Chain A
Amino acid sequence: MTDTLAFWPFDPVETTSGKVVQMLAAILVFIAIMGIILFLASLAKGRSGDRAVGYLYLAPTLLMLLVGLVYPGLRTVWQSFFNAAGDAFIGLDNYATIFSDADQLTVLRNTVFWVVVTPFVATAVGLIYAILVDKARLESAAKALIFLPMAISFVGASIIWRFVYEYRPNQGSVKQIGLLNQVLVWLGAEPHQWLIDSPLNTFLLIVVMIWIQAGFAMTVLSAAIKAIPDDVIEAARLDGVTAFGMFRFITLPSIRPAVVVVLTTIGIATLKVFDIVRTMTGGQFNTSVVANEFYSQSFRSDNQGLGAALAVLLFVLVIPIVVYNIRQLRASEAR
């Protein structure tokens, strides 16, 4: 193809070789920029030179953050006060829509379901599993099983679970190919079209997120459990503390900071969940959430104003959780 011959690194490419060449060119451009920065830095002398090097090292990062995060963020806030086409100022109308329109209220309700259910169930499962396999034989293998979904993309996980929920019409000799429906058939019940049924379908989507996040919870909490000093456990054991007492009075208080961090972290991730909803149902059948609705409004319905308002809402909802999370991190570091 011609694109490898007449080459300009910002042109679109089609062939595999063209893509590889463009990637290498991009890396070379980047290395050249770094080379210039480091060369300039090597010229600096003395205290004023120090300052110059400081700003020089920061320059690319600050520039990218200003252009790529700060400006677009402010722009989106501004855009959220405009109409669908973005050409007429309508004040807070988009926000009013989010909190009054029937469809949008369903979106909000679903988001509440997600954010309330996912962190607590995932953390509970992770904690229970971490305790159960602690110091057991094959501990690391047992952990890897729960752990692995974390490496899988949300899209991959959604496909795995869609297959579990798969439904075949219940007639004649048609066999179910989804595990969940087959279990129902084995039990003598009717198969069910799971992903259509609101609000049950939202909870079935939440299962996917729990499946992914439980491994994260388990990993962090297991590390916290192992960090409890042995002599504390030994002392409690000599005092005759029961298994439940051990959990209630020793384990739980010791790992409390870790539990809070896990809960908030999963909460933030859940708030932004988009891939699962999009891949499982596309937001149909009343399963949409704020992050998915943002995408639909911005790119499908071409309602820029409402899309921007939903993005801003997401931002506003994340802030308190993040602030709380950082405070807890600080508190646990200070101990």
Chain B
Amino acid sequence: MSSAPIAPVTVSDAPLKAPRETAAGKAKKRLTSPWASLFAVVLAVLWTLPTFGLLVSSFRPQRDIRTSGWWTFFSDPQMTLDNYRSVLGTDQAGGLGDYFINSFIITIPSVLIPVTLAALAAYAFAWIRFPGKNILFVAVFALQIVPIQVTLIPLLTLYVDGGIAGTFWPIWLSHSIFALPLAVFILHNFMKEVPATLLEAARIDGAGHVAIFFRVLLPLLRPALAAFGIFQFLWVWNDLLVALTFAGGGNAVAPVTVALANLAGTRGNAWHLLSAGAFVSIVVPVLVFLSSQRYFVRGLLAGSVKG
């Protein structure tokens, strides 16, 4: 994916460099190649094996998981979907179906709201002149470093006083608030890269700030919005702390991360539920991630100080 633009370079370099290979070049090759490859393979295996083991386990019958290691699956392959069935159900204990839905209900507005608000704010910071702009921008930027732990208890009090505790609203609002400083910063940087002449031309044509925002900037900003949107999606989907603080543990509001964490705490040996549950929760972000790796990396680089 990300190596697509690099591949042609490698190909075109190879015939040029091959004949000019020096003694040092050969030495480098001899030094690095076999051991390097071996070491890389060892690392790759070490990094993959834990996930693979749990994935295999999630398809094994409950009894087998308890009595033998997942590697025995290859000598005695017993497969079942029962674990996934009980995890996706909503009735019996250990069913994560409701929590899974809650994760979606939590995540969608928690991405849409901050992205939209931040786009407006970033536009104001980038292209409108008003007194106090620089100070406000630095202030918003600096708020990135506030750890969310510092805000949780007073926020919880505010939500209780406002009568919305125990609903989705505290989680939507909190995720939106925590995302804003970073979102404004990223989108502002992208907006600044749009050539001023484009905006001037639109203004001469009689476009106001609303028309410019929608017709000129928004189409150009799509990659930036996607980068931040994906970053925020994964952040919210994978969050535990915010959900734990504002959602409680019940199936009315809590997302799948909370349910899994509680399951690990109360039934730490129920590996048939934990393994299948973990993969149900993993599959969504992994799909999002694989389908948008490039955007995600960009968001990740820009968002390095968030939290």
Chain A positions within 8 Å of B, measured between CB atoms, are 10-14, 16, 19-20, 22-23, 26-27, 30, 34, 37-38, 41-42, 44, 50-51, 53-55, 57-58, 60-62, 64-65, 67-73, 75-77, 79, 125, 128-129, 132-133, 135-136, 139-140, 142-156, 158-164, 166, 175-179, 182, 211, 214, 216, 219-220, 223, 226, 230, 234, 237-238, 240-244, 246, 261, 264-265, 268-269, 272, 274-275, 278-279, 282, 291, 294-295, 298-299, 304, 307-308, 310-312, 314-315, 318-319, 322, 325-326
Contacts and interface: CB of A to CB of B under 8 A. Distances in A.
A179 B50 contact: yes
A76 B150 contact: yes
A53 B128 contact: yes
Contacts of A61: 117-118, 120-121, 140, 180, 184
Interface residues of B, number: 126
Contact of A163 (B50, B146, B180): B50
Contacts of B178: 68-69
B278 A160 contact: yes
A3 to B, nearest CB: 11
Contact of A241 (B13, B24, B140): B24
B145 A291 contact: no
Given A27-B109, A61-B140, A278-B240, A68 B177 contact: yes
Contacts of A58: 120-121, 124-125, 136
B113 A30 contact: yes
B1 interface: yes
Which 4 residue pairs of A and B lie closest in terms of their CB atoms, listed nearest first?
A68-B177, A153-B238, A54-B130, A72-B154
B286 to A, nearest CB: 5
A319 to B, nearest CB: 6
B78 interface: no
Given A159-B264, A298-B152, 11 more contacts: A10-B167, A58-B124, A129-B43, A132-B32, A135-B10, A145-B44, A162-B264, A178-B69, A278-B261, A279-B261, A311-B150
A67 B286 contact: no
A34 B116 contact: yes
Nearest to B47: A146
Contacts of A175: 67-69
Given A71-B154, A152-B285, A282 B265 contact: yes
B69 A13 contact: no
Interface of B: 1-3, 6, 9-10, 13, 17, 22-25, 27-28, 31-32, 36-37, 39-40, 43-44, 47-51, 53-54, 57, 65-71, 98, 101-102, 105, 108-109, 112-113, 116-118, 120-121, 123-125, 128-131, 133, 136, 140, 143-147, 149-155, 158, 163-164, 166-169, 172-174, 176-178, 180-181, 184, 208-210, 234, 237-241, 244-245, 252-253, 257, 260-261, 264-265, 268, 271, 274-275, 277-278, 281-282, 285-286, 288-290, 293, 297, 300-301, 304-305, 307
A10 B131 contact: no
Contacts of A77: 150
Contact of B39 (A69, A132, A144): A132
A240 B23 CA distance: 8
B140 A274 contact: no
A138 B118 CA distance: 39
A72 B27 contact: no
A177 B69 contact: yes
Contacts of B158: 67, 72
Nearest to B305: A322
